[in-house]
Amino acid sequence: MNELGAQPLDGEPAARVLVAGASGFTGGLAAQIVWRHPRLRLAAITSRSDAGTRLDSLYPRYRVPLELTALDLDRVEGIDAAIVAYPHGAAAPTVAALRERDILVVDLSADFRLRDMDTYERWYGEHGAPQLFGKGVYGLTEMYREQLREAKLVATPGCYPTASVLALAPLAERGLIADVVVVAMQGTSGYGRSSDDSVHFTAMTENAFPYKTEGHRHRPEIEQELAALGSPAPVAFVPHLLPLDQGELASCFAKTTEPVSKDQVQALYRERYAGEPFVTVLDGPPNLRAVRETNECHVYVTVEEHGRVTSFAAIDNIWKGASSQGVQNLNLMLGLDETAGLL
């Protein structure tokens, strides 16, 4: 049975896409989004641990009737683009091999996000493809849209940086951030599929806690991007785990380099994000259900009573925080409508 035939395509595909690492939470979701995409053909899905399993038995809701296979880089043929959903470290060599075959790559790992090798090595260890380090485009679509249209390798941002930078970008671009506290919260899908005691349902229900309180590797990534936008400010960052599966909230408290009023900052945000198909500036605080299983980012900004700018962004951590943002970028790389397959 040619199950691929069931994929609901509008005419000729714009690209044949490989999803590598499709048995994890973000890879499985990327495969589904490509499967339902009207212009992309899901050509292959691979997994080291679950080769031989059909994806719709691993993730029944996704309804992708394809079998996971082991990735054989010597036999990758007829692939135009790849989404790589490997852990950091493991991703880089595979990304390099795919690029050698001239395949467009959207990498969901941390391997190409940072621009300073010392910082990378401090947080992630030795890099697996140093010749490519710094060669990717940072895939926060709303900030790097034009470069993404020309990109061959895209480093999809971490989920926390996606929410945090979208919550702060309009300020950062004006050089307004003097310092900022970012408190982030995320559901358990952020832990990945591997189970341990801390994500046992019995441990997590009716629970919540901060973690990585001495330093999380997404902090330097957030600082890098705020600086790139115009605000080289120190970021205090602490993530929290919440008893829900998908969803992420960044609550940000910024001291500004000059006073701004609530009206000014709300106007600034509305202007900056006007026309953005996936960022909505709300009239009040965002909530996680409103963005669940969408590529949306909901943003709210205000000024608290002592004058600190307080901004909030809500996303789905494995959609806009990973897989659907990856497809948003792939759309740009392929010259497709940025929203294709994502509404």
| Residues annotated catalytic, as ranges | 159
Secondary structure class of 309 (helix, strand, coil): strand
Dist CA 68 CA 22 (whole Å) = 7
Query: What minimum distance in Å lies between the beta carbon of 252 and a second copy?
Result: 10
Answer for which of 1, 2, 5, 8 binds a second copy (CB under 8 A) is 8
Pairing assessment for the beta strands 104-107 and 137-138 based on DSSP bridges: unpaired
Of the pair 132, 279, the CB lying nearest a second copy is at: 279
* Interface mask toward a second copy for 22-61; x: CB under 8 A: ---x----------------------------------xx
Answer for which of 219, 224, 329, 341 binds a second copy (CB under 8 A) is 219
Answer for which of 2, 202, 258, 275 binds a second copy (CB under 8 A) is 202
Dist CA 112 CA 94 (whole Å) = 12
Answer for which of 199, 227, 228, 267 binds a second copy (CB under 8 A) is 199
Of the pair 94, 266, the CB lying nearest a second copy is at: 266
Using alpha carbons, list the distances in angstroms from residue 191 to 87, 89, 247, 255, 323: 12, 17, 12, 31, 15
Of the pair 257, 287, the CB lying nearest a second copy is at: 287
Query: What minimum distance in Å lies between the beta carbon of 234 and a second copy?
Result: 4
Segment contacting a second copy by CB under 8 A, of 133-141, 167-175, 306-314, 326-334: 306-314
Of the pair 78, 274, the CB lying nearest a second copy is at: 274
Segment contacting a second copy by CB under 8 A, of 13-21, 98-106, 268-276, 309-317: 309-317
Tell me how crowded residue 214 is: count the other CB atoms within 10 A of its CB. 6
Dist CA 260 CA 341 (whole Å) = 39
113 Cβ neighbours under 8 A, 6+ residues apart: 136, 138, 155, 156, 157, 158, 161, 221
Query: What minimum distance in Å lies between the beta carbon of 98 and a second copy?
Result: 29
Q: Are 107 and 153 in contact (CB under 8 A)?
A: yes
Segment contacting a second copy by CB under 8 A, of 13-21, 159-167, 266-274, 291-299: 291-299
Of the pair 8, 78, the CB lying nearest a second copy is at: 8
Q: Are 295 and 328 in contact (CB under 8 A)?
A: yes
Q: Are 127 and 112 in contact (CB under 8 A)?
A: no
Of the pair 94, 317, the CB lying nearest a second copy is at: 317
Look at residues 119, 113, 117, 147 and name the one whose alpha carbon lies nearest to residue 130.
Answer: 117
**Under the criterion CB under 8 A, does residue 2 sit at the interface with a second copy?**
no
236-272 burial: b if 16+ Cβ within 10 Å, else e: ebbbbbbebebbbbbbbebebeeebeeeebbebbeeb
**Under the criterion CB under 8 A, does residue 261 sit at the interface with a second copy?**
no
Of the pair 38, 230, the CB lying nearest a second copy is at: 38
Identify residues 238-257 at the interface with a second copy (CB under 8 A): 238, 240, 242-247, 249, 251, 253
**Under the criterion CB under 8 A, does residue 3 sit at the interface with a second copy?**
no
Query: What minimum distance in Å lies between the beta carbon of 153 and a second copy?
Result: 29
Number of residues that bind a second copy (CB under 8 A): 71
Identify residues 74-133 at the interface with a second copy (CB under 8 A): none
* Interface mask toward a second copy for 177-196; x: CB under 8 A: --x-x-x-x-xxx-x-x-xx
Q: At 13, list the tokens.
A: 């595909």
Amino acid residing at 287:
N
Q: State the Rg of the chain over Cα.
A: 20
Dist CA 128 CA 106 (whole Å) = 16
